[in-house]
Chain A
Amino acid sequence: MAKVILEARDVVKHYPVTKGLLQRTVGWVRAVDGVSFSVEQGKTLSIVGESGAGKTTVARQILLLEKLTSGSILFEGTDLYKMSPAQVKDDYRPKVHYVQQNPWSSMNPRMRIRDVVGEPIFVNTKQTKKTVYTEVGKLLDQVGIDTDGMTRYPHEFSGGQRQRIAVARALALNPTLLILDEPVSALDVSIRAQIMNLFKDLQSKFDLSYIVIAHNLATVRYMSHSVAIMYLGQLVEYGDSEALFERPLHPYTRALISASQLTLPEDSEGKAQQIILTGEMPSPLNPPSGCRFHTRCTEASDKCSKDVPEMRKVGKQMVKCHHYD
């Protein structure tokens, strides 16, 4: 077993909904409701789900941009939310970095590329401008950006280039863990493969760990070692990537996989029927009773709407479904 880099235990985020003059709390939005997973050194964990499932909230919690309602997140064995601000700055910030979904908004438009990429170095170390800029040159080289662009501003680059610059920035301090929040979804299909290959290369080169947030299963399958499927703030299935794609257990996982496969009209006969989910995800303000997926599940029974299923180990995976009791 490789070393566990990050572990989330029963992470919860509830947002209060207030109303009226006195700001009475009338309810809670259960954005994240008891999520546990772990990431090992040099491995990739993907968190997959529809929009609104709470994926990004989890990522923001890991990055300390959002507070925990309860639960804990352990980084290399230490509880993040018990660290002092100085500890966070010295021991955590340099090691964990973030690539955002939107390369257009993740850079300060008033900063030159060399300062954008160099910022983590400027903030966390005491080096002269000159040495930082040489370092930035090397980083840009690594992601295939011409170093002539160092003095330019972010708006002078294309989306794919910007995303690579964002990757260079995330790598600036040799992190141990990268959080990639839909790193390719804002890009053209033609450059997605390029960026994804870049991530793979970097992983084997530096033994990096990734947490990839995605809604596109094709991306996930290509990159990840383990996968966590999220639905309405909870994990419904979690486990080894190959096993999960080979034999998806939860009906929701099956629906997602089926939706991501391109089925041509002529081979729809004979083959397994494509599962198409109907309706929308219920509101996290008022989640359904029992199994949260039962309102849209094709295999739901009476029990599903009454009892809350437990996370169970089935083969190499963990699944939260009554059909495997």
Chain B
Amino acid sequence: MLNTITTTAKTKKKKQYRGISRATRVMRNLALWIPTVVMAFMIVLAIFSPWIAPHDPTVGKITDRYLPPAFMEGGKTDYLLGTDQLGRDILSRLIYGARISLSVSLLAIAITASIGTVLGIIAGYGGGRTDAIVMRVVDVALSFPGLLLAMLLAVAIGPGFWTVVFALSLLGWAGYARMIRGEAMRLSQSDFVAQARVNGASGWRIMTRHIFPNIINSLIVLMTLQVGMMILAEAALSYLGIGISVPTPSWGSMVSDGRANLDNAWWISAFPGAAIGLVVLSGNFLGDWIRDKLDPRLRQL
């Protein structure tokens, strides 16, 4: 008797998944787990780089210049991913570079997204003069040459980590503000916001409880798209000597270091490039997943 009951319970549990094929479910899980593992791995690398890296990333051996990766002919097992033009270990530089690249991009995204969201919601909900003022500032920020501003900053406060974060944040919020403002405007006209006003809700409550939660979707998508943009922007700044100073590795500067030797030593640029690609891709996948989880309408699907 007991046996039959447990079997029916089991079949019921199986039936819940009907309609979605097993392969689809496995794919969905992989789409979550692979990027999570990649991201976690990168963050661990960044935090524990001094213990993980096999060599000093800033000191090279002049006799070991341009060594190919270990799996290629002429490579040494000592340098798993080869060496660059100064004989520095690519793998160690990659591990240390994760620190700079991830922290710069995540910090800059956090700052730009916060400023942009706050201003966007205020402009979109406030409307009228507030909207006009904020949007004109956004227009100026979007039309300002970012590189010039970064150079000015580098001259004014000297190159370095915080200069890069500051330079990326100073103009980066404008894109968020413009998009969020549109969403906030649309939501301000919605029936449920009218209802909230009839209920007596304050502007603050409407912005935080009604408008913001409904903007998160688009915000997360935009933020994940920005991960790659920020890493590349940091690379561009470092390349121009405005960013992180020379011996300290960052993925972006590694890519640009190897640019001249792409034909005979492709590995100098290829590995950091692959790392950037991997992080960006996992970021996008994770973003999609978070967005679906945060939306109650998509949650059970």
Residues of A at under 8 Å CB distance from B?
60, 63-65, 89, 93-94, 96-98, 100, 102, 105-111, 119-120, 123-124, 153, 155, 169
Measured CB to CB, the closest approach of chain A to B165, in angstroms, equals 32
Measured CB to CB, the closest approach of chain B to A29, in angstroms, equals 18
Q: Could you list some 28 contacts between A and B, CB below 8 A?
A: A60-B194, A63-B197, A64-B197, A65-B194, A65-B197, A65-B198, A93-B198, A97-B198, A98-B198, A100-B194, A102-B191, A107-B192, A108-B210, A109-B296, A110-B214, A110-B296, A111-B209, A111-B210, A111-B213, A119-B201, A120-B199, A123-B200, A123-B205, A124-B199, A124-B200, A153-B296, A153-B297, A155-B297
CA distance A11 to B200 in the complex (A): 23
Measured CB to CB, the closest approach of chain B to A166, in angstroms, equals 8
CA distance A93 to B194 in the complex (A): 13
Residue B29 at the A interface, CB < 8 A? no
Residue B190 at the A interface, CB < 8 A? yes
CA distance A64 to B195 in the complex (A): 11
Residue B196 at the A interface, CB < 8 A? yes
Known: A98-B194, A105-B191, A108-B196. 5 other contacts (CB 8 A): A64-B197, A65-B194, A94-B200, A106-B191, A120-B200
Measured CB to CB, the closest approach of chain A to B258, in angstroms, equals 47
Residues of A within 8 A of B200 (CB): 89, 93-94, 120, 123-124
Given A89-B200, A93-B200, A124-B200, decide whether A98 and B213 contact each other with a Cβ distance below 8 A: no
Residue of B nearest to A110 (CB): B213
Given A110-B213, A111-B209, decide whether A105 and B190 contact each other with a Cβ distance below 8 A: yes
Contact check, B214 vs A109: say whether CB atoms are below 8 A apart.
Answer: yes
CB < 8 Å neighbour of A109 from B196, B197, B205, B297: B297
Measured CB to CB, the closest approach of chain A to B215, in angstroms, equals 10
Given A109-B296, A110-B296, A111-B209, decide whether A100 and B191 contact each other with a Cβ distance below 8 A: yes
Contact check, B198 vs A63: say whether CB atoms are below 8 A apart.
Answer: yes
**Interface size bracket, B side:** 20 to 34
- Report B171-207 CB contacts with A as 1/0, cut-off 8 Å: 0000000000000000000111011111111100100
Measured CB to CB, the closest approach of chain B to A104, in angstroms, equals 9
Residues of B within 8 A of A96 (CB): 198
Measured CB to CB, the closest approach of chain A to B79, in angstroms, equals 52
CA distance A119 to B297 in the complex (A): 21
CA distance A105 to B187 in the complex (A): 11
CA distance A60 to B198 in the complex (A): 10
Contact check, A119 vs B198: say whether CB atoms are below 8 A apart.
Answer: no
Measured CB to CB, the closest approach of chain B to A70, in angstroms, equals 22
CA distance A169 to B198 in the complex (A): 11
Measured CB to CB, the closest approach of chain B to A292, in angstroms, equals 29
Contact check, A106 vs B192: say whether CB atoms are below 8 A apart.
Answer: yes
Measured CB to CB, the closest approach of chain A to B173, in angstroms, equals 24
CA distance A106 to B191 in the complex (A): 5
The A-contacting residues of B in range 204-234, CB under 8 angstroms, are 205, 209-210, 213-214
CA distance A107 to B192 in the complex (A): 5
Residues of A within 8 A of B202 (CB): 123
A-B pairs, top 8 by smallest CB distance, nearest first, are: A93-B200, A110-B213, A153-B296, A105-B191, A120-B199, A98-B198, A106-B191, A108-B192
Residue of A nearest to B205 (CB): A123
CA distance A89 to B199 in the complex (A): 9
Residues of B within 8 A of A63 (CB): 194, 197-198
- Report B123-142 CB contacts with A as 1/0, cut-off 8 Å: 00000000000000000000
Residues of A within 8 A of B194 (CB): 60, 63, 65, 98, 100
CA distance A123 to B198 in the complex (A): 11
Measured CB to CB, the closest approach of chain B to A114, in angstroms, equals 14
Measured CB to CB, the closest approach of chain B to A211, in angstroms, equals 13
Contact check, A123 vs B201: say whether CB atoms are below 8 A apart.
Answer: yes
CA distance A63 to B210 in the complex (A): 19
Measured CB to CB, the closest approach of chain B to A208, in angstroms, equals 16
CA distance A105 to B190 in the complex (A): 7
Measured CB to CB, the closest approach of chain A to B180, in angstroms, equals 16
CA distance A89 to B205 in the complex (A): 14
Residue of B nearest to A60 (CB): B194
Residue of A nearest to B300 (CB): A156
CA distance A106 to B196 in the complex (A): 9
Residues of A within 8 A of B190 (CB): 105
Contact check, A100 vs B195: say whether CB atoms are below 8 A apart.
Answer: yes
Residue of B nearest to A89 (CB): B200
